[in-house]
Amino acid sequence: MKPLLHCFTRISLLYLAFSAAADARINVMTLNQYLGADVTPIVTPADPVAYNQGLVAVLTQTAQSDFRARVLAQANAIAKRLPDVLALQEVWELRCQDFDSDATKGCEDPQIAGAFTDHLALTLAALKKRGVQYKKAALIKNFDLEKLNFPGAPVAGIPFVINGVPAFLVAVDRDAILVRNRIEAQAVIFSSSLCPNPSDDGCHYSTAAEALTPAGLLRVERGFTAVDATIAGQDYRIFNTHLEVKGEDLGIPLFTSFQAAQAAELIQVIGFSASADRKTLLLGDMNSSPEQQNPTPDIITPYNQFIGAQYLDIWNLRPGDVPGYTCCQEENLQNRRPTLSERIDMIFSVDDPSKANKIRVIGDNASTKAKSHGLRLWFSDHAAVAATLQF
């Protein structure tokens, strides 16, 4: 009986191994968390008085947009979906420092005090509160006011005055990849030939717009991160990026050339770092929709570049004629009905999956709104996108 039992056991193990491989799936999600206000006044030339007014207005709007309430709504949506890998953009950290001892003035002024948050720390805490554990696998700092140092200033950042009290603002725009605690994942460290501009766990693009601040020009950095992860026995390399805004949004055609150059650089990195034993995914806020037109024959939009590189737009695998709009709600997030009108948050696969299901836009209906001081706020000006893929 031993030989027969041995054969049966071996066949059973082979069957279980085959079944596990056949059922191997990855559940991914991408979300732009949103600062809570349009930062254009911070990066727009103006006289000192007008610049200060614009900066205070940004902080006031950010406080009113109440990220502490919104992150709870975001965490509810994430916990309900339970993605294995979560790509986040606009993971802001805002800090303020003053030298006023009054606990109700300066940085603590009620008009702006709510603006100063660390999105990453609050996100991880909110998810933990919902009973799900995530960890940071990769982080990149993009636009960074901490790099500004005024001559003679006691601290880094942009000086401003709020109700007569001087203070200093530091704002850092970050992108992050989170994974569930049980998943093995490591940030990918690229060679200097592929990543000439490293930043934390990621890379800044060689092409970037510049903003004129009171301290001079500051590069508005954009970049990408990637992690290698093993999920249900399958190896993946997962990229996250937030490309520059398109020229049509600003009335500045040059900005489309910035995002086009960034997309071309990313495609090159993905191609040169590809491996036959890993499946490659690209998630993020592409700031480029399928409807975006090439402004000139020489400037190819990011979306058209990704399709030209034969990346698969996972949304197109969803049955039914659903537009999948992800952007954008009103700036103050208080609009009653969704105002999403374009699809710019995306999941691409470099390798064709054998199956793709549960492809969803999340955060585009009122049931996902946050409650804040008697208001109902959309949890971001973007909706999230999620998909479950099998290879």
198-249: pLDDT as tens digits:
999 999 999 999 887 777 778 899 999 999 999 999 999 999 999 999 988 8
Within 10 A of 6 (CB to CB), how many other CB atoms are there?
A: 10
pLDDT at residue 7 greater than cutoff 70? no
Per-residue pLDDT, 30: 98
**Structural domain boundaries of the chain?**
25-390
State CA 57 to chain mean position distance. 24
Q: Is 299 exposed, middle or buried (0-12, 13-18, 19+ CB in 10 A)?
A: middle
The residues near 237 (Cβ < 8 Å, ≥ 6 apart) are: 188, 226, 227, 228, 273, 274, 275, 278, 279, 280, 281
Q: DSSP letters along 211-280, please?
A: EEETTEEEEE--EEEEEEEEETTEEEEEEEEEPPPPHHHHT-THHHHHHHHHHHHHHHHHHHT--TTSEE
Q: Which of 113, 95, 96 is nearest to 104 (CA)?
A: 113
Kindly indicate the confidence band of residue 152, based on its pLDDT and cuts at 50, 70 and 90.
confident
Give the predicted TM-score (pTM) of the model.
Answer: 0.92
- For the segment 77-129, what is each residue's pLDDT rounded down to a tens digit? 999 999 999 999 999 999 999 999 999 999 999 999 999 999 999 999 999 99
Q: Which of 352, 325, 348, 387 is nearest to 239 (CA)?
A: 348
Q: What is the mean pLDDT of residues 148-158?
A: 79
Residue 69 DSSP code: H
> Higher model confidence: residue 112 or residue 44?
112
Q: Is 73 exposed, middle or buried (0-12, 13-18, 19+ CB in 10 A)?
A: buried
C-alpha to C-alpha distance for 85 and 386, rounded to whole angstroms? 10
C-alpha to C-alpha distance for 285 and 302, rounded to whole angstroms? 11
- For the segment 241-271, what is each residue's pLDDT rounded down to a tens digit? 999 999 888 888 788 999 999 999 999 999 9
Kindly indicate the confidence band of residue 36, based on its pLDDT and cuts at 50, 70 and 90.
very high
pLDDT at residue 4 greater than cutoff 90? no
Q: DSSP letters along 261-324, please?
A: HHHHHHHHHHHHT--TTSEEEEEEE-S--TTPPPSBTTB--HHHHHHHTT-EEGGGGSSS----
Q: Which residues are registered as beta bridge partners of 346?
A: 284
The mean predicted confidence, pLDDT, of the chain is: 92
Structure tokens at 9: 């056991």
pLDDT at residue 8 greater than cutoff 80? no
pLDDT at residue 19 greater than cutoff 50? no
The residues near 15 (Cβ < 8 Å, ≥ 6 apart) are: none
pLDDT at residue 16 greater than cutoff 70? no
Kindly indicate the confidence band of residue 11, based on its pLDDT and cuts at 50, 70 and 90.
very low
- For the segment 330-358, what is each residue's pLDDT rounded down to a tens digit? 999 999 999 999 999 999 999 999 999 99
C-alpha to C-alpha distance for 273 and 227, rounded to whole angstroms? 12
pLDDT at residue 17 greater than cutoff 60? no
Question: In this structure, are residues 280 and 228 in contact, taking their beta carbons and an 8 Å threshold?
Answer: no
When the candidates are 3.60.10.10, 3.30.1330.10, 3.40.50.360, 3.30.70.250, the CATH number that belongs to 25-390 is 3.60.10.10
Per-residue pLDDT, 248: 87
C-alpha to C-alpha distance for 118 and 176, rounded to whole angstroms? 13
Element housing 130 (H / E):
none
C-alpha to C-alpha distance for 134 and 127, rounded to whole angstroms? 7
Question: In this structure, are residues 284 and 345 in contact, taking their beta carbons and an 8 Å threshold?
Answer: yes
C-alpha to C-alpha distance for 244 and 302, rounded to whole angstroms? 10
Per-residue pLDDT, 23: 60
| Residue 34 Ramachandran class (φ > 0 left, ψ -120 to 50 alpha, else beta) | left
pLDDT at residue 70 greater than cutoff 90? yes
Q: What is the mean pLDDT of residues 155-180?
A: 94
The residues near 203 (Cβ < 8 Å, ≥ 6 apart) are: 140, 190, 194, 195, 196, 197, 223, 224, 225, 269
